[in-house]
Homo-oligomer: A and B are copies of this chain.
Amino acid sequence: MKHFSLDLTNEGVALTAYLLDSSAEMPNANVRPAILIFPGGAYRVCSDREAEPIALAFLAEGYHAFVLRYSLNENAAFPRPLNDAEEAIERIREHSEEWGIDPDRVAACGFSAGGHLAAALGAMGRLRPNALILGYPCILESMGGILPAPIPDVSKAVDGRTPPTFLFHTYSDTLVPVGNSLAFASALERAKVPFEMHVFQNGVHGLSLAKASTSGGSKAMADADAAKWFGLGAAWLNNVFGDFPADREGSWDVEVEQFGVDVPLGVLWKNAECKRLVLERLPVLQESPQLDDAMGVPLRMVVEFGGGLLTNEQLDALDQALRTVPVKANKERRSEQS
């Protein structure tokens, strides 16, 4: 993982990145979707409870994650926080190749006041995210009464460019009433923007993941029912963005630096010369009913599983022979195939 922070233009505004490692073993995850998180806190603070824990929940789903600490308090007047959000999206898309991000699969996720900011980015932003996840968001102008500066009613700004949206809220939220989410959902319906919404009956404002680990110790902040929102949201985002590709038959289509007996049989089989060398020494493989199963297994294990199909000397000799076969890079192989 790479973990670092970038200062953005406005004073005190920072973008924190959590970038998962790529690996030759996971070629289907070299490019990943990303999520940009706006913690809540009434435009007065950015709550830690809605920052790193949310990032980790999405990292565990295979997303790169970013947390934006945006303009607050005397700097909270619109459009300054929105400009921060736009700049964050811009940076993420600019660095998408370097960071292994698909620039067309960048979601924004915000809570409470951060939900207002995410919704504003989605409905009014110069740049737009590709999906929105809004947790107990402030939507209506009336919420400005409890914030340091007036806010626009973002439900009124919803347009056809607003991305698909996932909303969750609790009916029992006395601080930001559920009517905020209902208003946004109605606006999405009118604009024919696809959405998903989960309103749980019970639960106070500010639940974050609603788990004990994010509760801060408060009983009211851990709720097994409302905690289902994350699984529902992750499934929804997966549907909107598409899951990681996992359609390859077998698991041996991997790039190796050098052939040899510690390489999976399937990899050797894809190279005509390697296959010939192996079958020459191990003609028994040709008719084995378990040949398919063995494809993901290093040749050395195949030999040992087979009850010592070769002596150590024979195995070493085969290893030497295979090592002399030139390896073609995947790129090269693919261009040949297409």
A residues near B (Cβ < 8 Å) are 1, 3, 18, 20-21, 23-29, 42, 44, 47-49, 52-53, 56-57, 59-62, 145-146, 164, 171-172, 174-175, 177-179, 182, 185-186, 189, 194-202, 204-206, 211-222, 225, 228, 232, 235-236, 239-240, 243-251, 253-254, 262, 290, 293, 296-298, 300-301, 304-305
Contact = CB atoms under 8 A, between A and B. Distances in A.
Given A56-B60, A171-B194, A189-B178, A44 B262 contact: yes
Contacts of A220: 249-251, 296
B232 A246 contact: no
B60 A48 contact: no
Contacts of A213: 29, 61-62, 243-244
A32 to B, nearest CB: 8
Nearest to A247: B219
Contacts of A244: 211-213, 215, 217
Copies in the complex: 4
28 contacts: A3-B3, A20-B56, A21-B52, A25-B49, A25-B216, A26-B48, A29-B213, A42-B298, A42-B301, A53-B60, A56-B56, A59-B59, A59-B60, A145-B304, A146-B300, A171-B189, A182-B182, A198-B199, A202-B239, A212-B243, A212-B245, A213-B243, A215-B246, A217-B251, A218-B249, A218-B253, A220-B296, A222-B246
B202 A217 contact: no
A186 B182 contact: yes
Nearest to A1: B3
Contacts of A304: 145-146
A115 B304 CA distance: 21
Nearest to A302: B146
A52 B262 CA distance: 23
Contact of A251 (B145, B216, B300): B216
A196 B248 CA distance: 26
Nearest to A250: B218
Contact of A60 (B47, B57, B232, B239): B57
Contacts of A47: 25
Contacts of A28: 212, 215-217
B218 A251 contact: yes
A167 B252 CA distance: 27
A196 B189 contact: no
Contact of A195 (B1, B53, B171, B251): B171
Contacts of A239: 201-202, 225
